């Protein structure tokens, strides 16, 4: 039996926000598209405002990540009534939160952006056990926090790769 979808203005706002202005309704790979849009946005912002992504603004970046995570949880709450599913594929704002976590304190280049995108998608799709367990949380917390955890894993992996690359490069 299908859930009756709400048509209230708040439900419409949640559909628009959670799907990144309806990009999430793309018929396939909506999570990958949401991640790609986020990476493209980070690349664009880094070209316009490169100082935002430097160590002097890490606190601002952290607050932006936290704010997007809270907004994602809020917009994803009540998804059964808003989208007709507990974890709808149209909700892609959680990919934004996860991708932002992926690039926290990472020097941004085209190579790190591509690597971070691929690592985040890997961890988001494979969902190691604790990432998968977070998905079981209620409502918007479960929808969002598994992507944040995938972003943490992608960030750690990316940092380790950069450390290893720089260490090897220093000895060559």
> Which tops the pLDDT comparison, 123 or 55?
123
- The pLDDT value given to residue 87: 67
For residue 16, give the nearest of 103, 92, 101, 81 by alpha carbon.
92
Residue 15, H or E segment: helix 9-18
How far apart CA 8 and CA 11 sit, in angstroms, is 5
- The pLDDT value given to residue 52: 85
What three-state secondary structure class fits 150?
helix
How far apart CA 11 and CA 16 sit, in angstroms, is 9
How far apart CA 94 and CA 134 sit, in angstroms, is 13
Write out pLDDT tens, residues 45-96: 999 998 888 888 899 999 999 999 999 999 988 776 676 666 678 889 999 9
For residue 108, give the nearest of 3, 38, 171, 20 by alpha carbon.
38
- Whether 2 shows a pLDDT value over 60: the answer reads no
- The pLDDT value given to residue 1: 43
Q: Which of 1-10, 70-79, 94-103 has the highest mean pLDDT?
A: 94-103
User: How much is the pTM?
Assistant: 0.88
Percent of the chain residues past pLDDT 70, beyond the cut:
92
User: Are the C-beta atoms of residues 84 and 145 closer than 8 Å to each other?
Assistant: no
What three-state secondary structure class fits 6?
coil
- The pLDDT value given to residue 120: 97
Residue partners of 9: CB distance under 8 A and separation at least 6:
none
Confidence of residue 7 (pLDDT cuts 50, 70, 90): confident
- Whether 13 shows a pLDDT value over 80: the answer reads yes
- The pLDDT value given to residue 55: 84
Residue partners of 104: CB distance under 8 A and separation at least 6:
58, 61, 62, 65, 155
- Whether 136 shows a pLDDT value over 70: the answer reads yes
The beta strands (E) that lie in the chain are given as none
For residue 101, give the nearest of 53, 142, 52, 155 by alpha carbon.
155
């Amino acid at each position: 039996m299908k859930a009756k979808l709400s048509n209230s203005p708040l439900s419409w706002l949640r559909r628009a926000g959670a799907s990144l202005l309806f990009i999430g309704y793309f018929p396939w790979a909506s999570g990958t598209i949401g991640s790609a849009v986020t990476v493209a946005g980070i690349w664009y912002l880094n070209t316009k405002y490169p100082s935002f992504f430097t160590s002097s603004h890490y606190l601002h970046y952290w607050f932006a990540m936290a704010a997007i995570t809270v907004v994602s949880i809020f917009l994803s709450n009540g998804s059964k009534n808003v989208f007709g599913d507990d974890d709808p594929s149209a909700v892609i704002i959680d990919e934004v939160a996860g991708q932002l976590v992926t690039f926290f304190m990472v020097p941004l280049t085209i190579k790190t952006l591509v690597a971070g995108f691929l690592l985040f998608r890997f961890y988001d799709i494979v969902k190691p056990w604790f990432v998968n367990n977070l998905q079981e949380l209620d409502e918007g917390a479960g929808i969002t926090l598994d992507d944040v955890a995938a972003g943490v894993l992608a960030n750690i992996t990316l940092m380790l790769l950069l450390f290893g690359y720089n260490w090897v490069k220093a000895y060559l």
